[in-house]
Amino acid sequence: MLRRGRDFIHLPGPTNIPDRILQAMHRPVVDFAGAEFSKMARGCLDELRRVFQTAGPVYAYSANGHGAWEVVLDNLIAPGEHVLMPDTGRFSESWTEMAAALGVHVTKTDAYHDRPIDPAAIEALLSADAGHAIKAVLMVQVETSTGVTHDVAAVRRAIDAAGHPALLLVDAIACLACIDLPMDAWGVDLVVAASQKGLMMPPGMAFVAVGARAQQVAANGGAPRRYWDWRMREGEESYYWFYGTPPIQMMYGLRESLDMLFEEGLPQVFRRHERLAEATRRAVARWGEAGELVFQCQVPEARSNIVTAVRFPSGADPDALRVMCRDRLSVAFGGGIGPFVGQLLRIGHLGDLNEPMLLGALGTLEVAMRASGVPHKGGGVDAAAQYLADTLE
Ligand SMILES: *Cc1c(COP(=O)(O)O)cnc(C)c1O
């Protein structure tokens, strides 16, 4: 069947790439040794510190988020060492599997799949580690597989309350530049992110912001490494910052992305995400008034501002709904992944997004629920529209 018009992406990543970024990237190769590229690339890496809210360096890799995870482990944790990884869902699970494959011992926790990490449990686990074998706590800020926002500052306080020297390393791959993460102010030692989510760029780059303590640990330890070693990314020339040929077009895209974020202002970007997320939650709440749809996250204030994960206790098949939306109605939502396969529909609402895009997506989901007889209360789009009207600035 031939379809016209645009396709819409409401995945929790990759996200919409603004035309401005696409156009900025549409250019021939330049000599990366020349002054123009070097100045531009250096400026991006330096200005990324504003996005990470850190005074420390930000290193760039031609990799996806999984590559950034390996950067963290290789630079900081040697085979045979121990880390603590709260079980938040699919992404903490995959990071745990990677650590195990690299010979790192991982202490898991109870599952926090429908609620935020319990800081008291973290404190207890660290207090029990009297010999300080645990080198780091590795956590995901927004666990994209569940839609739960985990409280980074609370985990920091738990580490401090235990009097434990473990580093705090945060995966903000999904949510950097969507929600607040004042890295230095919250005492976070390292943050990782990737290009294709809040930064609105194509997939293919990863970023690692490194605090002073993490730099110190890396200088004296970590695993045998070379390509992922961030110390290899220092130097005078752009060739060194990427340990080889820079991803030239991606860097022009990043320049445009940073310009767009700073033009809007980070607080305004966070506020826009919060507002569009709340509109989504109003719609879901209305559809589920008699329990036909429920939020995966049971704690209302922890429902994330970048993705809303929904369950269907009525027995409706979220994957059938998702496929209908994508293949018949031109809107791509996320499905359940990892432990949640077949159980969830995930509505992504992050990146380059405005009211009509969101209302279109919510309206489309309502069309699909009607067409496929999924039990729900009508008026979800109306509830979202009312909230957007009430909060229009
Ligand atoms: C998307 C995502 C990842 C993985 O990123 P890739 O670029 O797909 O490797 C890791 N963690 C979180 C929280 C994510 O949302």
Tens of pLDDT, residue by residue over 206-221, are 999 999 999 999 999 9
Distance CA 74, CA 226 (A): 9
Strand duo 307-311 + 345-348: pairing: antiparallel
Tally of CB atoms within 10 A around 370:
11
For 11-45, write each residue's pLDDT tens digit. Answer: 999 999 999 999 999 999 999 999 999 999 999 99
Q: Is 59 in the pocket of ligand 1 (CB under 6 A)?
A: no
For 343-392, write each residue's pLDDT tens digit. Answer: 999 999 999 999 999 999 999 999 999 999 999 999 999 999 999 999 99
Residue range 19-262 forms a domain whose CATH class is alpha beta
Q: Is 70 in the pocket of ligand 1 (CB under 6 A)?
A: no
Average pLDDT over residues 269-298: 98
Q: What is the pLDDT of residue 196?
A: 98
Distance CA 274, CA 393 (A): 14
pLDDT above 80 for 69: yes
pLDDT above 80 for 1: no
Average pLDDT over residues 74-78: 98
Ligand 1 centroid to Cα of residue 29, in Å, is: 28
Q: What is the CA radius of gyration of the chain?
A: 21
| pLDDT confidence band for 393 (50 / 70 / 90) | confident
Task: Please state the domain extents for the chain.
Answer: 8-15+265-390, 19-262
Taking phi over 0 as left and psi of -120 to 50 as alpha, with beta for the rest, 5 belongs to left
Q: Which two tokens stand for residue 331?
A: 């809107």
Q: Which two tokens stand for residue 370?
A: 């009607």
Q: Which two tokens stand for residue 221?
A: 């330890």
Q: Is 350 in the pocket of ligand 1 (CB under 6 A)?
A: no
Distance CA 199, CA 185 (A): 22
CATH match for 8-15+265-390 among 3.90.740.10, 3.20.20.450, 3.90.1150.10, 1.10.10.10: 3.90.1150.10
Q: Is 171 in the pocket of ligand 1 (CB under 6 A)?
A: yes
Spatial contact of 86 and 150, defined as CB atoms under 8 Å apart = yes
Please give the number of the atom of ligand 1 that sits closest to the Cα of 194: 7
Which residue has the CA at smallest separation from atom 3 of ligand 1?
65
- Closest Cα partner for 303 from 115, 166, 42? 115
pLDDT above 90 for 2: no
Q: What is the pLDDT of residue 64?
A: 98
Average pLDDT over residues 238-256: 97
Q: Is 64 in the pocket of ligand 1 (CB under 6 A)?
A: yes
3-state secondary structure of 246: coil
**Rounded to the nearest 10 degrees, how much is the dihedral formed by the CA atoms of 234, 239, 241, 246?**
-170
Q: Is 13 in the pocket of ligand 1 (CB under 6 A)?
A: yes
3-state secondary structure of 16: coil
Ligand 1 centroid to Cα of residue 174, in Å, is: 6
